[in-house]
Structure 1
Amino acid sequence: MEVSTNKPYHHRQAAFSNLPEIDIGNQGLRKRILQKGTSWQTPFPGDEVEVHYSVSLKDGAYIDSSHDKKMPFRFKLGQHEVIKGWDEGIGTMKKGERAVFTIPPELAYGHAGSPPIIPPDATLVFDIEMVSWNTIRDITGDGGVLKKIVEEGEGWATPREDDEVLVKYEVRLENGAVASKSSEGVEFCLTNGYLCPAMSKAARTMRKGEKAELSVKFSYGCRLLQKGDTRNGDDIPPNANFVIHLELVSWKSVVDIMGDKKILKKIIKVGEGYDRPSEGSVAKVRYIGKREDGAVFERKGHEAEAFEYLCSEEQINEGLDRAIMTMRKGEHAIVTVGTDFLYGYKEFGSISANSVIVYEVELVDFTKEKPFWKMDTIEKIEACERKKNEGNILFKAGKLQRASRKYAIKYIEFDHTFNDVEKCQSNALRLSCNLNNAACKLKLEQYPEASRLCSEVLELDPSNVKALFRRSQAYLRTSQLENAEADIKRALSIDPDSREVKLGYKELKEKRKQYVRYEAEICSTMLSKMG
């Protein structure tokens, strides 16, 4: 439906009077949609809005139109730059929408009016078309950095805190003078920032290819006074505010492998698929290890033949190994490994104790162990037996964390398909693996986990002396003395000649004596204070 926008209201009234009218709020603001919008979104308070309008008094007297000026009217929504009826009404509009708003005097110019054009207590009728709006976001929450999107980016993803971004920018002073500029683009890590805090904060909210205009207060741009590439610092006045035109060209994802910044992986080339190597996988890789000064200290694999190794078997640096197990086939990455994972190199004196090392690595391919849910019953039992033996070797070598992982009983955990003989074999393995794992957990001081594993053994074999003894040790270390005593006495009743159990009982009795002495001292102290 076409209605001329440059005709007075009374000439158009008949053309749209049959369209439905809705109430907005409870102060008499009414809206009649002439043309529906082209999207579902509406502007937010603070957004910079562009509209075309015509306005008349309710009796039809024509007042003004943006069409006469041949340019839309621009204002910030919800910032009291226009009458209240506009802020409330235009906030309901979609892009491309056209509507007639009847605005009562309470939401317009009130009792005073706006002489000589608008009389007192005037009801106004606006024919408004929503042309567009630019979202303005208060990034810092205190007005320190206001961001206006000039050009939308691609997709939905934005950089994460540790990512490395590539941006182009231009910084201007309030008088329009260029303070700093980079047309070629600069790359920096968001955690470190670049030039000023505003750039890092804004880049985290942007999508690839997005262009934005930042209004930056001095407190968020002050580093510009010390750092820049094309400006003369003497020309920048004190406490200057800035406008930054920023484009997010791209970014490289940086993954904090352990969540503590000790292993960081920067993805240079994204891999294919979704699968990743796991413990025991055969991985084919090419990598170069470098010191902080860039000197190469290690090189594995080459173009003709990749280096092949078993994941989680201490065949390469542990930090690099953990990073590779987060990679996908064909992925290229830069892996930075901290001091916690340099013990293998300190012995040779090739790398200083306080340094980090950097690997350039490519995961060429990998082969995973057959998933246990695809194994038949014989394969499951054989796999569990093999893992248990590997765990025993690691336990004897003092590699307790890795041994504990080997003792996992996932292969035989769901044994509803096993026959009687296989059930007997799986139960024996279950007992052995859980007992060995409990021994690992005790040495690792993970006492609640050790207690849980022993309890699982006792569900299958209530008279298992090792399970009773190890659970009593876990109870003893967490000062659950009554539970510890119950388990150790039961173990002694089953095997009174066990030297290990006897020593455990002796330790428990000593612990009880210490506890009694401690209680007596506390009681004596309390009585002396009362006296």
Structure 2
Amino acid sequence: MEKGETAEIIVPSRLGYGNIGRPPNIPPDAELTYEVEVFSVEEVGEETDLPLEERMKIGDEKRERGNFWYGRGDYSNAIHCYRRSLDFLDDEKQDFQNPTSELQKLLDTRLKVYNNLAAAQLKMDAYEAALKSVDFVLKVQPQNVKALFRKGKILAAKGKNNEAIIELKKALKLEPETKIIHQELAKLTLKKKHEEKAEKAMYRRMFGTTDNPSSQPKSQVRVLLRSWSLIVGGIMAVVLSVAVYRHLHG
């Protein structure tokens, strides 16, 4: 579009407010129609070339938009918004060692975005990407409870239960009253016990051993009985031989 032009834009429900809508003005599953006019056209530079305050504003708006999609279960769109937010909030040129108050706000928002991004990636089963996102948070804030909790869930999803339990215990130590951490840790601990029990049972079957003799197969019991019969018979034969020898040579 050029300056002064107008256009009608039709937005399907999926890309608008979905099946939830935005009460009381927009009903569920509503198709949206906009009339847009271009008043001016400006060249757009790099996101990090914008003033810090403007970057903060845009980055936070995109974070909130990501939260909007996340709340509606559209994790793909949420991830897209979070990544766009980071385009405005990430900046390798900035010195975060001694940040100003404004720079600290930007850093705090950035960590929120990475935390939310990890949650959305976990929902999409993108475990490696989620782990990178959450590790970024923990690198800056090792005691971030949300990041520790999500890292525990990510590791559990990857089948690394021992490592997951360690992360969840760290989170619980920082927030001992949080029920969801207790629940996740209890569930994972119980799962680990069941897996260890199943593993021990498998090894017993592999090596033909068992803690309960009565649970042995009948064929194994017969072999054991036959072996003992031979041993007892051998002992009795030796005893009788000794007795006969003494009787004849006594």
| TM-score bin, normalised by smaller chain | 0.5 to 0.7
Contact 1:415 1:423 in 2 (8 A): no
Q: Helix, strand or coil: the match of 1:398?
A: coil
Aligned to 1:387: 62
TM-score, normalised to structure 1, is: 0.31
1:121-200 aligned at under 5 Å gives the runs none
Q: 1:103-123 deviations in whole A, cap 9, x for unaligned?
A: xxxxxxxxxxxxxxxxxxxxx
- Aligned amino acid, residue 428 of structure 1: D
Aligned with residue 516 of structure 1, among 179, 196, 210? 196
* Structure with greater helix percent: 2
* Structure with greater strand percent: 1
Aligned to 1:504: 184
Looking at CA atoms only, which structure, 1 or 2, has the larger radius of gyration? 1
Aligned with residue 413 of structure 1, among 90, 104, 121? 90
1:475 aligns to 2:152 (yes or no):
no
How far apart in 1 are the matches of 2:161 and 2:45? 45
Q: Helix, strand or coil: the match of 1:425?
A: helix
Q: Specify every segment of 5 or more residues in structure 2 that has no aligned partner in the other structure, as ranges.
A: 17-28, 30-40, 210-219, 221-250
- Aligned amino acid, residue 394 of structure 1: W
1:404-483 aligned at under 5 Å gives the runs 404-408=79-83, 409-414=86-91, 416-417=93-94, 420-483=100-163
Q: Specify every segment of 5 or more residues in structure 1 that has no aligned partner in the other structure, as ranges.
A: 1-282, 285-303, 316-343, 345-365
Contact 1:377 1:417 in 2 (8 A): no
Contact 1:457 1:467 in 2 (8 A): yes
Q: Which has the higher contact order (CA 8 A, sep 6+)?
A: 2
How far apart in 2 are the matches of 1:395 and 1:367? 32
How far apart in 1 are the matches of 2:200 and 2:43? 60
Task: Quote the offset at 1:370 in angstroms.
Answer: 5.8
- Aligned amino acid, residue 385 of structure 1: D
Aligned with residue 314 of structure 1, among 11, 15, 19? 15
Q: Helix, strand or coil: the match of 2:116?
A: helix
Go from structure 1 to structure 2 and tell me whether the alpha carbon gap of 1:522 and 1:499 turns closer, same or farther (over 3 Å shift): same
How far apart in 1 are the matches of 2:180 and 2:43? 41
In the comparison of the two structures, how many residue pairs are matched?
Answer: 179
TM-score, normalised to structure 2, is: 0.64
Superposed structure 1 runs of 4+ greater than 2 Å apart: 304-310, 366-371, 415-419
Contact 2:171 2:181 in 1 (8 A): yes
Aligned to 1:402: 77
- Aligned amino acid, residue 426 of structure 1: L
Task: Quote the offset at 1:385 in angstroms.
Answer: 0.5
CA RMSD of aligned residues (A): 2.9
How far apart in 1 are the matches of 2:189 and 2:87? 38
Task: Quote the offset at 1:429 in angstroms.
Answer: 0.6
Aligned to 2:47: 372
Amino-acid identity (%): 21
